[in-house]
Chains A and B, each alone.
Chain A
Amino acid sequence: AQSVAQPEDQVNVAEGNPLTVKCTYSVSGNPYLFWYVQYPNRGLQFLLKYITGDNLVKGSYGFEAEFNKSQTSFHLKKPSALVSDSALYFCAVREDGNTGKLIFGQGTTLQVKP
């Protein structure tokens, strides 16, 4: 069965510093990996996805994610954090051939302090 783990409930970083939000996954086939962000009282917004090819994927708002097949990880990164990046971040996976269902991790709260 598919699963996603986000080992950190919260990540704190100072504005201007690089940030990493961790995600590991488990699927039996080829994974399709996604990051979504949720701002307070808002829905989930798509940030980026991994299909195949280049292991470094670039997405919205300066975010990128690195796919590592051997470590089954898909960590979200940003070189320089902004206070406005503070939000709840969800990693999600869809297994190859699935009906379309995404399986989400438990979410990581990112706090960027000025």
Chain B
Amino acid sequence: EPEVTQTPSHQVTQMGQEVILRCVPISNHLYFYWYRQILGQKVEFLVSFYNNEISEKSEIFDDQFSVERPDGSNFTLKIRSTKLEDSAMYFCASSIAGVGANVLTFGAGSRLTVL
């Protein structure tokens, strides 16, 4: 069964450092997403991406965050200058379409720890 793969599985960084989280969505999917889950809290939407541009973003997704699809397979989330409160599990997801009953397929997540 096709999977969404994420790397790294765990990253520890110092506050203020830049972090890039990588995702390989399912190959025939056209919509890509990043979500995060702070420990013990709900899964929160960050951003959706379609046709090489952001289609929607949440208020969490401020100027410190950016997304990119640098080639035909990878989808990345960059945090420019990490803060302690960025510590969370970050999930990438993809879907064939962006509306209706289309199912998002999630990766296993990248745990980010900011010290």
Which residues of A are interface residues toward B (Cβ below 8 A)?
Answer: 32, 34, 36, 41-46, 49-51, 90, 94, 96-107
Closest to B107 in A: A43
Option from A51, A101, A105 in Cβ contact (under 8 Å) with B56: A101
Instruction: List, in ascending order, chain B residues with CB within 8 A of A42's CB.
Output: 108-109
Instruction: List, in ascending order, chain B residues with CB within 8 A of A50's CB.
Output: 101
B106 near A: Cβ within 8 Å?
Answer: yes
CA separation between A17 and B108, bound complex, in Å?
A: 30
Instruction: List, in ascending order, chain A residues with CB within 8 A of B97's CB.
Output: 100
Instruction: List, in ascending order, chain A residues with CB within 8 A of B42's CB.
Output: 90, 104-107
Instruction: List, in ascending order, chain B residues with CB within 8 A of A103's CB.
Output: 45
B65 to nearest A CB, angstroms? 16
With A44-B43, A90-B43, A97-B99 given, is the CB distance from A102 to B107 under 8 Å?
Answer: no
* A102/B100 in contact, CB under 8 A: no
Instruction: List, in ascending order, chain A residues with CB within 8 A of B105's CB.
Output: 46
Option from B43, B48, B103, B106 in Cβ contact (under 8 Å) with A49: B103
B73 near A: Cβ within 8 Å?
Answer: no
Instruction: List, in ascending order, chain A residues with CB within 8 A of B56's CB.
Output: 99-101
Closest to B3 in A: A43
CA separation between A46 and B91, bound complex, in Å?
A: 14
* A32/B31 in contact, CB under 8 A: no
B55 near A: Cβ within 8 Å?
Answer: yes
CA separation between A105 and B45, bound complex, in Å?
A: 11
* B48/A101 in contact, CB under 8 A: yes
* B31/A100 in contact, CB under 8 A: yes
CA separation between A94 and B33, bound complex, in Å?
A: 14
CA separation between A34 and B106, bound complex, in Å?
A: 13
CA separation between A90 and B101, bound complex, in Å?
A: 16
Instruction: List, in ascending order, chain A residues with CB within 8 A of B95's CB.
Output: 100
Instruction: List, in ascending order, chain B residues with CB within 8 A of A107's CB.
Output: 42-43
